[in-house]
Amino acid sequence: MGMLIDGQWSDEDRRVTNAEGEFVRVDSTFRSAIEAGDDQYLAEPDRYHLFVNAGCPWAYRTLLYRTIKNLESVVSVSFTQPARGPQGWTFGKPEPMLGATHIHDVYTAADPHFTGRTTVPVLWDKKTNTIVNNESAEIIRMLDSAFDDLPGVNPARYYPKELATEIDAWNKKIYVNVNNGVYRCGFAGSQQAYEQSFDNLFAQLDQIEAHLADHRYLCGENITEADWRLFATLVRFDAAYYGLFRCNRNLLQDYECLWAYTRDLYQQPKVKETVDMEAIKGIYWGSRSPGIIPKGPSIDFDEPHHRG
């Protein structure tokens, strides 16, 4: 996969697995925040920019929030091409704001001596010319509330204080077993590690299926951050994780409640426009030699969900 070492691109792959062959995700590096009372990063229109890949589930979270919060005129965006190139995520041609050809150029623009993986999403500050944050969970929390005082922004909050404890509990389980769980299956370095991750993934999906039998959403009758974080994985499940990552006990479409729930979220206002199935297949299948993109599967997210 490659990475930057002291600001220079290296083809060295330092993907981390532990002694048992379990995939270990490396923590994000840039962790500043846009928040009230912080004079360094004020919530101002047209100050911030997102670098994303539409197929990547982590970057997709931020693209989704930018759209459903009506922040398109507040936070600008650049998309990398779906598939990785020899030097990681690439823009194909120089990106207009920074002139970056690869996402690693964005990182060295912020820190000429950066060492680490060059991931998406990246939240960039045009005023100070640096990266504010590259952790998707923290970026969506900023987008959820930081800009609400600006005109035209959707005031809906997906992380309400009264549900914070419940949302955090769902987020923790879903991140470990589902969001990152599919990657722990796909990048496992041993049979034992793969089978344990596989079992944890489907045990969690079975639990959520049972919960959704008498709850419209994870925390009740209103959509929360926990739903959107789960949706980012579910909407990719049949097209990518089922086959490529060997998560093949069940298709999402085999689950009565989870499949209807996913369609319910997909059919919420403006969500459909954020889901790029060709980019999703491109990021997973196009990044692997010989880069052949599957024509299927056939997935009708517009089918009535009957969860009203």
Residues labelled as active-site residues:
56, 183
Instruction: Kindly state the tokens that stand for 215.
Output: 């709850």
* Residues contacting 91, CB < 8 A, separation 6+: 78, 79, 80, 81, 100, 101, 102, 103
DSSP 109-174: HH-TT--B---S-EEEETTTTEEEE--HHHHHHHHHHTTTTSTT-----SS-GGGHHHHHHHHHHH
Instruction: Kindly state the tokens that stand for 209.
Output: 């299926």
Q: CB-side exposure of 82: number of CA atoms within 13 Å? A: 18
Q: Which residue has the tokens 């962790």?
A: 31
* Beta-strand pair 75-79/48-52: parallel
- Structural contact between residues 26 and 13, judged by C-beta atoms closer than 8 angstroms: no
What distance in Å separates the CA atoms of residue 172 and residue 160, rounded to the nearest whole number? Answer: 17
What are the phi and psi torsion angles at 151 (to 5°)? -65, 140
DSSP 197-246: HHHHHHHHHHHHHHHHTS-SBTTBSS--HHHHHHHHHHHHIIIIITTTT-
What distance in Å separates the CA atoms of residue 258 and residue 295, rounded to the nearest whole number? Answer: 24
